[in-house]
């Protein structure tokens, strides 16, 4: 997965920088030491993997259950969501500070563009079990890891850097297979029951979308649906019976919110807008 993320970041930047006639560039994934940067023959974008951590907020413990066409049941371990931290900087082959600043600014603008996260999710040759999300300058991590001490540790002159966090799934390669059962128990839902869908959006004040985690609970507190919004903050809760529910919303850097749903027949006819406040 990490190699995939490396390639996709490079491809995305390369495509956009070339389209903006920045000129011929190189991309380097090694530790950006002073000795290495002095050997660059082209203006270079350094994309250095700084750290990897598990995102405990997005951890799922329940295994996914699948049946094949012979009736065999397979339980697959859920993907582990990783926070992958990159240190991105720009280097001029001629050691020209203004050229470095121009390249740095263009790279930064493309990483902030909404197309970046979409590119990581849609331009791939593998099947992603869960969506990828991105964050530029994750504040807590910057406070702990970046600054003068970092450049000093890798023997490099002080320069501006971009801290990028990519949250991506690491699909586990193990599963359990079970033999076909000989007894069968079948439960049927009441087909006369009316099932509804509620669509909504998570956002800040000012209509700024937020990628958030959503948990739908019954009146008794039982979780019946867990999902994540898309990059536009949109979500859809389906197959809902006419009951009372609670929607719990959490997002990194924002205060959690719990929304009661009392009359879902009315709510299903309009979009549910949930506004979160920054911590």
pLDDT in tens, the chain (279 residues): 788 899 999 999 999 988 877 778 999 999 888 888 888 999 999 999 988 999 888 887 777 776 666 667 677 777 888 999 999 999 999 888 999 999 999 999 999 998 999 998 887 666 677 889 999 988 766 655 555 667 777 777 778 889 899 998 886 554 455 555 555 555 555 555 678 888 999 999 888 999 999 999 998 889 889 999 998 899 999 888 888 899 999 999 999 999 998 888 888 888 899 999 998
- HEC states along 149-195? HHHHHCCCCCCCCEEEEEEEEECCCCEEEECCCCCCCCCCCCCCCCC
Alpha-carbon distance 67 to 16, whole Å? 43
pTM of the entire structure? 0.57
Q: CATH 2.60.40.10 in the chain, residues? A: 196-275
Spatial CB neighbours of 102, under 8 Å, sequence gap ≥ 6: none
| CA-based nearest residue to 59, from 76, 75, 84, 78 | 78
Helices (H), the chain: 2-19, 34-37, 97-112, 115-122, 139-145, 148-153, 264-267
What fold is seen in the domain 196-275?
Immunoglobulin-like (2.60.40)
């Amino acid at each position: 997965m990490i190699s995939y993320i490396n390639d996709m970041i490079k491809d995305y930047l390369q495509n956009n920088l070339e389209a903006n006639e920045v000129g011929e560039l190189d991309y380097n994934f090694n530790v950006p030491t002073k000795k290495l940067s002095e050997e660059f023959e082209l203006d270079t974008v350094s994309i250095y993997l700084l750290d990897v951590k598990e995102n405990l907020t997005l951890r799922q413990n329940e295994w996914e259950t699948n049946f094949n066409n012979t009736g065999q049941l397979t339980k697959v371990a859920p993907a582990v969501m990783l926070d992958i931290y990159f240190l991105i900087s720009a280097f001029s082959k001629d050691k020209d500070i203004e050229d470095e600043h121009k390249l740095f600014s263009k790279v930064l603008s493309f990483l902030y563009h909404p197309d970046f996260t979409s590119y990581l999710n849609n331009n791939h040759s593998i099947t992603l079990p869960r969506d990828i999300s991105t964050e530029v300058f994750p504040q807590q991590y910057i406070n702990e890891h970046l600054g003068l001490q970092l450049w000093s540790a890798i023997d490099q002159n002080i320069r501006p850097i971009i801290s990028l966090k990519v949250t991506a799934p690491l699909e586990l390669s193990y599963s359990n297979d079970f033999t076909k059962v000989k007894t069968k128990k079948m439960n049927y839902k009441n087909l006369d029951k009316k099932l509804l869908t509620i669509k909504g959006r998570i956002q800040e004040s000012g209509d700024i979308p937020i990628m958030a985690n959503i948990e739908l609970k019954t009146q008794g507190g039982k979780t019946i649906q867990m999902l994540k919004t898309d990059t536009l903050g949109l979500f859809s809760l389906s197959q809902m019976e006419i009951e009372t529910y609670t929607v719990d919303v959490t997002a990194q850097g924002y205060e959690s919110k719990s929304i009661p749903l009392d009359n879902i027949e009315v709510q299903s006819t309009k979009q549910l807008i949930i506004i979160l406040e920054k911590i």
